[in-house]
């Protein structure tokens, strides 16, 4: 059985993960409109991954005797001045998700909820990976710079990252 406090906190995390899925989907649409095929594919993949994260918590909460709620998700932004700013926003959002996961971990300790603590360890590792990935992308974008062909090279770099991740998942 899960406490009401933890149930409410996990439902908030479901909402945050759902928003992340919608945010990435919105970014995919923007990238598609801008002709950034590699970035579009990457963002679609990220959107699906965030939805899976949301559903993982959703199922866990019901399995533990709680009541997972379908979240009301606010409209994410749908315009960015540059692809560089879009990825800065992605990184900031991933940091926000990491902070929220850390709060859930702390709550698990406070409540001596070892089952939820164990469940959340997957998210701790996942967020470390997500932040590392986004920092790597930002580092590569900075190396590419903002010259006339930079969008082409950024898109190709993101496409390569996406293809590598998809291949790793398939193995």
Delimit the domains of the chain by residue range.
Answer: 4-163
| pLDDT tens readout for residues 97-135 | 999 999 999 999 999 999 999 999 999 999 999 999 999
C-beta separation of 57 from 13 below 8 A: yes
Half-sphere exposure of 82 (CA within 13 A, CB side): 13
Please state, in angstroms and rounded to a whole number, the distance separating the CA atoms of residues 92 and 141.
16
**Fold for the domain defined by 4-163:** Ferritin (1.20.1260)
Give the number of other CB atoms < 10 A from CB of residue 148. Answer: 6
pLDDT at 46: 97
Please state, in angstroms and rounded to a whole number, the distance separating the CA atoms of residues 38 and 152.
10
Instruction: Assign 167 a pLDDT band (cuts: 50, 70, 90).
Output: confident
Res. 170: pLDDT tops 90: no
Task: Identify the DSSP state of 20.
Answer: H
Please state, in angstroms and rounded to a whole number, the distance separating the CA atoms of residues 7 and 93.
23
Closest Cα to residue 20, out of 47, 60, 56?
Answer: 47
Angle between helical axes of 150-170 and 37-63 (0-180°, round to 10) = 40
Mean pLDDT check: name the lowest of 9-23, 27-41, 138-152.
Answer: 138-152
Read off φ and ψ for residue 3, nearest 5 degrees. -70, 155
Q: Considering Cα of 159, then 165, then 168, then 169, what sign does the dihedral take?
A: negative
Diameter over CA atoms, the chain = 58
Read off φ and ψ for residue 68, nearest 5 degrees. -75, 135
């Amino acid at each position: 059985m899960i406490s009401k406090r933890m149930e409410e906190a996990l439902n908030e995390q479901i909402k945050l993960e759902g928003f992340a899925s919608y945010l990435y989907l919105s970014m995919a649409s923007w990238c598609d409109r801008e002709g950034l095929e590699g970035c579009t594919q990457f963002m679609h993949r990220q959107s699906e991954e965030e939805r899976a994260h949301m559903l993982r918590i959703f199922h866990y909460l019901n399995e533990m005797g709680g009541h997972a709620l379908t979240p009301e998700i606010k409209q994410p932004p749908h315009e960015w001045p540059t692809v560089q700013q879009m990825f800065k926003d992605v990184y900031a959002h991933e940091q926000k998700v990491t902070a929220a996961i850390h709060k859930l971990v702390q709550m698990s300790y406070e409540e001596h909820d070892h089952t939820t603590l164990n469940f959340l360890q997957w998210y701790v590792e996942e967020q470390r990976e997500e932040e590392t990935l986004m920092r790597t992308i930002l580092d590569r974008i900075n190396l590419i710079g903002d010259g006339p062909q930079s969008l082409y090279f950024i898109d190709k770099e993101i496409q390569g990252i996406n293809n590598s991740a998809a291949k790793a998942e398939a193995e």
